[in-house]
Structures are given as C-alpha cells and as structure tokens.
Structure 1
Amino acid sequence: MLSGHRSWVLILALSLGACGERAAQRKAESVEVPADQVRSQFIGLPNGATIAVEPGSVGEKLAHYLASRDPAPRSFEIGGKQFDDWSSTASPATRAMLPELVQLLKSYPDVRIRFVGHSDGAGDADANQKISEDRANVARQMLVEAGIQEDRIETAGKGMSEPIADNATPDGRARNRRIELIVLAK
C-alpha cells in the first residue's frame, strides 16, 4: 500500500496524464504538490505526457531547457553518487532518473545527446579511461533498452582528466565517478 502523500501524488499524476490535450498546451507549466517537506513538480510535455520532477533536479532543468529556445550544446551534471569505485553499474539514484529522461527524449524526438563518463583519480590512467567509457556506454544502453534510438546517443570517456571535486577525499572521488549528459542538438 502506498503512503498517504504518495497516493495523492499518484492520483494527481494520473489525472494530469489523462488531460493530454491540456498538457500539450501547458508545455512546461508545473504544478507544485507538497508532501512532508518534499515537493514534486509535474511538467507537461509537448507529446501530452507529464513527468514528475524534484525542484532543482536535472530532470527539471533538462525539461525547461528542452522547452526553451536556448541553443545546444548544453551540459548537465547528473550529480550524486552515480558509481561505486571501479564499477560501471549505475547506482539506484542514477537508474531512478531513467524514466524521466526516457519521457523527455520521447517528447523531443529531434534531441541528440552525448553521455561523457568520468572516473576518480585513483589508479592507472588507462584503466580509468576504460571505466569512464564503460560508464557512458551503460547509460546509453539503459536508454536504448527503454526504447530510445541508438543513433540519438553518443558516448565518450574522459577518464580522470576532468575532476569536479577533490580526489583526496572519499566524497570527492565519489563525485568524480560520474556521467555527464550533453544535449548536442534539439
């Protein structure tokens, strides 16, 4: 059984999804739903679908960017702990982003993206290059398995060449083990 606030969020999402024609007109209008200090926003997409995003999340930023006239390319840092040390298995938090990213890509069929994999500074440069490429390919494969065309997704690996945090700390290394999403065309 769903908790109280999740039930209301689900009911609201279903009712918003049923209003496809109105959702298409809203394009990037959002509705705020309070739930125990956590707010979700529902963003209407051009194809009539609606996605729920957390305020300030990559999903929200990407949805608003795709609805805008801002030109490509544009990079989005996914953030959070995306991969364990020496692993190319996406974390549950990274996998949780998949449905909203799939919805966005289905709603904007002309969008092409690139996933760029990164690693921390520990270990051999060649091994780090390989794991960064593997991480980007895992992200690509997750989208392909969800129905996004392969030719819309490029991948690259940067190894340990572009850290965003201090590799001297465990938290910094965890932030550096990441994928970055770049919108190439929209």
Structure 2
Amino acid sequence: MTRWVYILQEVAGITTTLAESRARLADLVGAANIEADRHVDNAFHFALNQTGIERFRSGPAKAEGWVEHDRADPWASTAAPAAAGGLPKWLPWLLLAVLALLAILAFRSCGGPKVDAPEVETAAVEPLPAPDMPALPKIETPQPASTGLASYLEGTEPTPRRFIFDNLNYETDSARLAADASNVVGAIVVILKQHPTARVGVVGYTDSEGDDAANLKLSQDRATSVSQALQAQGIAADRIEARGLGEADPIASNETADGKAQNRRTELVVLAR
C-alpha cells in the first residue's frame, strides 16, 4: 500500500528545494522506498511504499516536521491536511486578538464616568490695532491720445501724463509703420501744433514673447519710427524724445492673447506743456 508524506517548507524555518527534501527523506526511509514526489502549495509530497512507511513511523522523521497523510489526490491543497490533527497553532492567537479588540471597543463605548469640567473665566481681549501700511501706488492705464490729449494740454494737471496711440499699427515683426498709421500720427500732430510749447516722449513696448534683447531693440525702433513720423509732419525734433522699454511695465496679462495685444503698444508721454 502506498501512502503519502509531506513537509511544509516553512516548518521550523526550513527553506529547501524538492531535491533537497527528497534527499533528506531518502536518508530516513531509503531512496528505493520513495515511489513519487509532488510539490503542492507550500509543501513537498512524497509517496512511500509499505517499507518506507514503516521506517518513517519508527524513525525521527516526524520530529523533523514530516507529516504522514493519506490522500486520494496528492495534488490537493495542503492548507488543511487530514493527518495534521487539531487546530492550527495560530488560531488561538487570532481569537485572542479579536477578543482584545472587542474589549477596547466596549470600553470606548462606555466612556467611563462623566466629569464636569470647571468653568474657566475668559478675559475680554481687545483687538490689536491694524498696522500702518503704506499706500500702494496706483497703476495708471494710459488714456487714448485721440480723446484725452487735447483737454489735458489745455488744463492744469501736473506732468508727466501718459497717453496711448490708439489704432497705431506696424508691419509684422517690424518697426515700419503700417499704411494707415499716418492718419493716427496726423491727429496727434494737429494737437501738438496747437500747443507749441508742449514736449512729449514716445515710448515703445512689446509683450513678453521672444528674446528680451530683441524685444528691447524692436520697441526702441518703433518709438523712433513714430518720432520720425511726427517730425515729418512738422513737429520739431527737440520737442520729442524716443525710447523703447521692451516688455517692461505691462498693462495687461501676458498669459492671454488679448493681454499681449494690449502690451504691444506705443505711448505718448507729455513731459511739459
């Protein structure tokens, strides 16, 4: 009659191969008495003949962690072998942990005796005075020159004052004024001729796209183009200063296309009346 024995790989810290386990079992019962072997789940199974079973039962095999079992299907799981007998060693510890958890939950639900906390008188706290903060500078958005320049030059408000050339266009990526720019410049010339003592500055700006140095040069070239256009229509050169500031002093966000369009501008700054 053939019977099966097996050894769990984790028994007593054992970590072996199937061949090593077979060699050890051969020392205990004789290699000729081992008829087959299997590796199922976490155990090595060996089929022994009657002689091997007798040597297995009379020798030290069981003391080393070997277990005898009688299974019709040696490939069945070893999770709960028939010959192991009794409860798993870890089951009492699991039950003890569950009981401890239940005891903790029961204690928390009881809450223990209620203790009234003494009333603590709190003194009134006066609010701290607000710190003195300097006034933030007001960001001035330039007014269109076509609507505000004349009235400003006729008034008494202090200088300098910024205006923006509205609808003043250039050729793409160039300082050359567009064909329709002469009408815009001409309207400013009429106003400046009516106030012959006024001195102005022409300041060019770009958005944040591109190289900083290239933007600075483009803004300077565009300011110079507008200054030359004013001079060509009769404004004296000593009444005009041209300057480019690149992407400095944005009046809108450079994160949107509309904001970038607003930042690409040319301003007229009244320096003196």
Give TM class, smaller chain: 0.5 to 0.7
Equivalent position to 1:146, from 233, 237, 240: 233
Shift of 1:175: 1.7
Q: Does 1:58 align with 2:58?
A: no
Name the structure 2 match of 1:67. 154
Q: Aligned partner of 1:127: which letter?
A: A
Q: Using the alignment, how far apart are the partners of 1:161 and 1:155 within structure 2?
A: 16
Q: Does 1:113 align with 2:207?
A: no
Write out aligned runs for 1:1-186 (5 A): 57-80=144-167, 82-83=169-170, 85-91=172-178, 94-186=181-273
SS at match of 1:115: strand
Shift of 1:82: 3.3
Name the structure 2 match of 1:5. none
Is the CA contact 1:85–1:177 (under 8 Å) kept in the aligned structure 2?
A: no
With 100-109 and 129-138 compared, the bigger mean Cα shift is at: 100-109
Unmatched runs of 5 consecutive residues or more in structure 2 = 1-142
Unmatched runs of 5 consecutive residues or more in structure 1 = 1-55
Name the structure 2 match of 1:41. none
- Structure number with greater CO (CA < 8 Å, separation at least 6) is 1
Is the CA contact 1:83–1:177 (under 8 Å) kept in the aligned structure 2?
A: no
RMSD after superposition: 2.0
Mark the CA change 1:176 to 1:92 in structure 2 (over 3 Å): closer, same or farther.
farther
Q: Using the alignment, how far apart are the partners of 2:168 and 2:184 within structure 1?
A: 13
Is the CA contact 2:160–2:272 (under 8 Å) kept in the aligned structure 1?
A: yes
Shift of 1:164: 1.5
SS at match of 2:253: coil
Shift of 1:163: 1.5
Shift of 1:70: 1.7
Q: TM-score, normalised by structure 1?
A: 0.64
Mark the CA change 1:174 to 1:92 in structure 2 (over 3 Å): closer, same or farther.
farther
SS at match of 2:223: helix
Shift of 1:81: 6.3
Which structure's CA Rg is the greater one?
2
Is the CA contact 1:84–1:174 (under 8 Å) kept in the aligned structure 2?
A: no
Q: Using the alignment, how far apart are the partners of 2:174 and 2:245 within structure 1?
A: 15
Q: TM-score, normalised by structure 2?
A: 0.44
Shift of 1:180: 0.6
Q: Aligned partner of 1:184: which letter?
A: L
SS at match of 1:116: strand
Mark the CA change 1:69 to 1:145 in structure 2 (over 3 Å): closer, same or farther.
same
